[in-house]
Structure 1
Amino acid sequence: MITSCDEAVARLRAVPGLSCCARPLFVLPLLRTGCLSAVVSVEGADAGWEGEFGARFHALEPDSGVRDHTSLGAGVHEVLRRIAAAGNGGTGGGWRGRELALLPYTAMKPEWRAALDALGTRLEEPPSRLVLPVLGDKRAQRAWLRSVGAVTPSDAVVPVLDHRELRRRFGDRYVVQTPMGSSGRGTHLVTDEAHLRPIRRVGGGPWLVSGYVEGVAVNLHVLVSADSTVRVLRPSVQLTRVEGIGAPFGAYSGCDFAAPALLPPLALARAGAVARRIGEALAALGYRGLFGADFVLDGERPLLLELNCRMQGSTWLLGELELAEHALPSALRHVLELYGHATGGEPRTDAAGAVQLVVRHTGGPVRVAAAPGGGLHRLKDGRLQYCGAGFGLLECGPDDCVLLQLPSPGTVLLPGVPLVRIVARHTLTTPDGSALTAPGRQLVDVLRAGFVLEPLEEPVGSAAAW
């Protein structure tokens, strides 16, 4: 059983590692520990990451010059296709005959594997992962969650979106979800007939329709070990409805690992018990590794919304806390468990100062003429003061913030894409995650003022993505 970070790193460094993800930030614990040799992603790495972590980054956005809503699957496949098209005289030359171990953020897609085979890369993968179709479809997943004892919001699967009937059944506000989707994509709050028209145009039904519950959104990481042990990790408040940061309803806008200290202890304890029960049910089916459980707190009653059976957009930040505490990061434990190496050690579940906040572009397509610089900053006298290089939470002091994933000048931004990710030890939102604090509002305003955005006169070629 692997219990120390040194032992885990030695095991994972035996073969150069490869990860495929939406943005390199999501695998930061693997980068910090030197476990990755290559990262293929949609968004590019921030300045200085290649030198800091000794890895090669291959991304779609720097080549296309567009930050849009390209999916993870399509983005990674396009990057690999471009590497192959470059041939041996270009960046593709470093892949032929190379052996890489997949350190998965999410499951390898068949088209990625085929592209790597075409490049002549020898890929070492975890043993065949258990495929649980019931968890891939939100409609089937909700029914399965209830079958193992979880309490969920009231819901129905409907082939037709009839506002009059749905309002009669669920009230003036209800939530419509497409069967697939993550990070809030495909999730819609409906209050009138007009909200249903664009959902119908896109299609994707039958839809899962749920009653809307006004409450705090809480996420729990859970680790299912190779020996079937289930461990519940630190909770975080999910920032999904913060006004003033440009996010539509349900869109993932970050998390706060300190805010759970201000929530009802009984509600958190109940959520933890449910998460453990779900983990035990998944373990019995053969599932291994991390999964995330999303709850909404209805007073002291946690309602389970859905599971994310993979690493999550908050796993990297949890890993930063774990590294600061000299603990084995959950991201490394996840990969080791997938390879069948059981990991030991009880995780901490206490609240801790760690926040990430995603600020999005509002308005039509634009080109970035100027943008604030990334790295470590401090807000002083109403201005952002650059304090040096910063890659995540570990560089932050109590009053600092790190700015990540800022678009380069010349990049085209489509509506709703992230402008910047703010990382800090101090809170930026109210405890329920619904509004910016005064310092958070000031920081967001200063950041937005640092952008110069030029409207585009001609349509963007990839605009169909949004």
Structure 2
Amino acid sequence: MTTSPTVVDAGVWDEAARGLTTALGRSVLVSVERFTTAGRTTYTGPLALEAARPALAIGCYRPWPPAAALRALAAESTTQVRGVAQRRDWMAGLDRQARSAIAALDRPVVVSAWYGTDLLRSWAGPSGVVAAIDHGLRARIEDKAYFGELLLDARVPAALHLPGVRVDGPLPHLARLRRRVGAVRLVVQCGADSGGRGTVFVNEEADLVRAAGMPGPYRVTAFTPGWSSNVTVLSVPDHRGGLRVYVDRPSHKAVGVPEAGIGPGKSAGNCWSVPWPEPAAAAVVDAAERVARWAWSRHGMSGLFGLDSILTDDGRVFLNEINCRNQGTTEVSAVNQQLRSLPPFVVAHLTTLLGGRVEWLPDPDEFNAATVRTAASTAPGPYYLKLRHRGDRPVVLDEGLARAGRYRIHGGRLRWTGPGAHPAEAGVGEVLLANLPEPGVVCLPGAELGTAEAVTPCGGGPFAGPHRLSPVGRALLNALDRHLTPADLPTTR
């Protein structure tokens, strides 16, 4: 479904480009993320903002031409292997090459990343800047054991808090913990990790033993059935001592989807075309504004962050996590802003972190009121489904999936229909397959094979429930499986 705003003010895009360009100054943009195509929904597609295309992208997976930065450095080009270990360790393997590639730019750099680390600061060098929240601050704010206190400090209404307790010492026996929380099934969380790590669902003693293997302190809450959700939040200082807060449309996020190869507590993707109850959407927007103002007043934090929540069948909503950084949702959630005739939040995020002025955003109160109305409507929205290798032996993609781009299912297989880099470029019956491994790259069990993306009418996404695929999602994964060919690991170079 190819969808774009009905009214586009080119002046807004021009002003956003000028603001980012001014904030960059003499520096050039370098993206450091696992996907070397990070940010492509901003600089490609029907409303491309070329000023946001990185001069250099450093990551794990090789880009495909329409989505590529001006230059890319990918670990996969050397390893020719894609797997769980590779996606976690790629930065160390690229250290020497990354320093050389950045030095070859012969310009000061702005490094865009999820969060700032000593390694990234050393890559940027003395004249460079890392445009991301500092890792230490991120670890404090995202600490799952601290989240209950955060909500209290931010004055988020109690109705949005999950029933739970903080445990600073060893976890007590299961029966006692159940009494303290007031629930039989529990969720134990700790630390500031991502991707479902640091979370254990406790149904029996063996689960509690596994949870106790994580370092404390712990946050223990009642398991609450319902849809998981993510909402992207942008806070922008107004340079007069105030803060403007913009809240995106909340998603429906499927987690723990075994048929998609996604384990408990891990996300299978997000869909933004399924309506929310209006009171629940309004409560999330209000809470997001409160948390943004707390983060600004307490820590001076501005820019992008995300709030995760649970939407129950009876329309209640509970907040369960904060991610003060770019997220896995950042790429495709940007399409929500474009559907509302605005450049993606990430442009304002980068401009803000560089100390620039963001003058092109609308009145935040009006924007957030429209967010609530859109969330409760049947308006189209984007989705993405994570593609995993679910088998137990290495594979390669056959020639039918030789490149990322637009596909449709035909005869139970995926057929190429044309190039593409943006979900809105997928037409009716099509899907964008992004970040596919190139032919010959060996994919190990559990490897990321990419994402399937599109903009869809209400209810047309890949999920039928909080933990289930829809017929659309199931057909897509079944077709993908038919393009996987058993392979041997490449010989060591």
TM category (shorter chain) comes to: 0.7 to 0.9
For residue 422 of structure 1, what is the aligned residue in structure 2?
Answer: 452
Pairwise CA distance, 1:8: 2.0
* Distance in 1, Cα, partners of 2:317 & 2:252: 13
Bigger drift between 227-236 and 348-357 goes to 348-357
* Distance in 2, Cα, partners of 1:307 & 1:185: 14
* Distance in 1, Cα, partners of 2:130 & 2:348: 16
For residue 464 of structure 1, what is the aligned residue in structure 2?
Answer: none
User: Which of 113, 117, 127 is matched with 1:109 structurally?
Assistant: 117
Matches within 5 A, 1:56-71: 56-70=71-85
User: Structure 1's 136 and 270: CA in aligned 2 closer, same or farther, altered over 3 A?
Assistant: closer
For residue 4 of structure 2, what is the aligned residue in structure 1?
Answer: none
User: Structure 1's 318 and 430: CA in aligned 2 closer, same or farther, altered over 3 A?
Assistant: closer
Structure 2-normalised TM-score?
Answer: 0.80
Matches within 5 A, 1:170-209: 170=181, 171-201=183-213, 203-209=214-220
For residue 6 of structure 2, what is the aligned residue in structure 1?
Answer: none
Pairwise CA distance, 1:363: 4.2
User: Structure 1's 16 and 290: CA in aligned 2 closer, same or farther, altered over 3 A?
Assistant: same
For residue 221 of structure 2, what is the aligned residue in structure 1?
Answer: 210
- Structure 2 residue identity aligned to 1:112: L
Is contact 2:120–2:130 with CA below 8 Å preserved after alignment?
Answer: no
User: Structure 1's 147 and 395: CA in aligned 2 closer, same or farther, altered over 3 A?
Assistant: same
User: Structure 1's 73 and 361: CA in aligned 2 closer, same or farther, altered over 3 A?
Assistant: closer
Matches within 5 A, 1:372-391: 372-373=401-402, 374-391=404-421
* Distance in 2, Cα, partners of 1:391 & 1:317: 11
Q: Describe the superposition over 1:364-416 as per-residue Cα deviations: whole angstroms up to 9, x where unpaired.
A: 45242637332101123433221111112131113210111222344343443
User: Which of 110, 119, 128 is matched with 1:123 structurally?
Assistant: 128
Matches within 5 A, 1:155-304: 155-158=164-167, 159-161=169-171, 162-170=173-181, 171-201=183-213, 203-227=214-238, 228-259=243-274, 261=275, 263-285=276-298, 286-298=300-312, 299-304=314-319
* Distance in 2, Cα, partners of 1:126 & 1:381: 46
User: Structure 1's 293 and 430: CA in aligned 2 closer, same or farther, altered over 3 A?
Assistant: same
For residue 9 of structure 1, what is the aligned residue in structure 2?
Answer: 17
* Distance in 1, Cα, partners of 2:146 & 2:68: 41
User: Which of 439, 442, 448 is matched with 2:475 structurally?
Assistant: 442
User: Which of 143, 153, 161 is matched with 1:137 structurally?
Assistant: 143
- Structure 2 residue identity aligned to 1:43: Y
* Distance in 2, Cα, partners of 1:152 & 1:413: 41
* Distance in 2, Cα, partners of 1:451 & 1:301: 42
Pairwise CA distance, 1:230: 1.4
* Distance in 2, Cα, partners of 1:11 & 1:148: 31
The gaps in structure 1 that reach 5 residues or longer are 462-466
- Structure 1 residue identity aligned to 2:141: L
Pairwise CA distance, 1:440: 2.1
Pairwise CA distance, 1:149: 2.7
For residue 35 of structure 2, what is the aligned residue in structure 1?
Answer: 23
Q: Describe the superposition over 1:101-141 as per-residue Cα deviations: whole angstroms up to 9, x where unpaired.
A: 23x34222111221343xxx842455996936641311123
* Distance in 2, Cα, partners of 1:451 & 1:431: 25
* Distance in 1, Cα, partners of 2:464 & 2:296: 33
* Distance in 2, Cα, partners of 1:73 & 1:381: 36
Give the secondary-structure state (helix, strand or coil) at the position aligned to 2:420: coil
Pairwise CA distance, 1:179: 1.0
Pairwise CA distance, 1:70: 4.8
* Distance in 2, Cα, partners of 1:358 & 1:154: 31
Pairwise CA distance, 1:451: 0.8
- Structure 2 residue identity aligned to 1:375: G
Give the secondary-structure state (helix, strand or coil) at the position aligned to 2:255: coil
Pairwise CA distance, 1:247: 0.2
Bigger drift between 444-453 and 132-141 goes to 132-141
* Distance in 2, Cα, partners of 1:43 & 1:100: 22
Is contact 2:32–2:57 with CA below 8 Å preserved after alignment?
Answer: yes
For residue 55 of structure 1, what is the aligned residue in structure 2?
Answer: 70
Give the secondary-structure state (helix, strand or coil) at the position aligned to 2:334: helix
The gaps in structure 2 that reach 5 residues or longer are 1-9
User: Structure 1's 433 and 136: CA in aligned 2 closer, same or farther, altered over 3 A?
Assistant: closer
For residue 354 of structure 1, what is the aligned residue in structure 2?
Answer: 382
* Distance in 2, Cα, partners of 1:328 & 1:92: 28
Is contact 2:36–2:69 with CA below 8 Å preserved after alignment?
Answer: no
Pairwise CA distance, 1:72: 7.5
- Structure 2 residue identity aligned to 1:422: A
User: Structure 1's 155 and 437: CA in aligned 2 closer, same or farther, altered over 3 A?
Assistant: same
Is contact 2:29–2:56 with CA below 8 Å preserved after alignment?
Answer: yes
Pairwise CA distance, 1:61: 2.6
Pairwise CA distance, 1:77: 4.3
Is contact 1:378–1:387 with CA below 8 Å preserved after alignment?
Answer: yes
Pairwise CA distance, 1:305: 0.5
Q: Describe the superposition over 1:55-76 as per-residue Cα deviations: whole angstroms up to 9, x where unpaired.
A: 1111223322332335988533
For residue 314 of structure 1, what is the aligned residue in structure 2?
Answer: 329
Give the secondary-structure state (helix, strand or coil) at the position aligned to 1:189: strand
Is contact 1:179–1:208 with CA below 8 Å preserved after alignment?
Answer: no
Note if 1:43 corresponds to 2:36. no
Give the secondary-structure state (helix, strand or coil) at the position aligned to 1:112: helix
* Distance in 2, Cα, partners of 1:146 & 1:453: 53
Q: Describe the superposition over 1:162-203 as per-residue Cα deviations: whole angstroms up to 9, x where unpaired.
A: 4443345454422222312112122222222333455455x3
Bigger drift between 383-392 and 408-417 goes to 408-417
Is contact 2:390–2:445 with CA below 8 Å preserved after alignment?
Answer: yes
Structure 1-normalised TM-score?
Answer: 0.85
Is contact 1:368–1:413 with CA below 8 Å preserved after alignment?
Answer: yes
CA RMSD of aligned residues (A): 3.1
- Structure 2 residue identity aligned to 1:48: P
The total of aligned residue pairs comes to 443
- Structure 2 residue identity aligned to 1:360: R
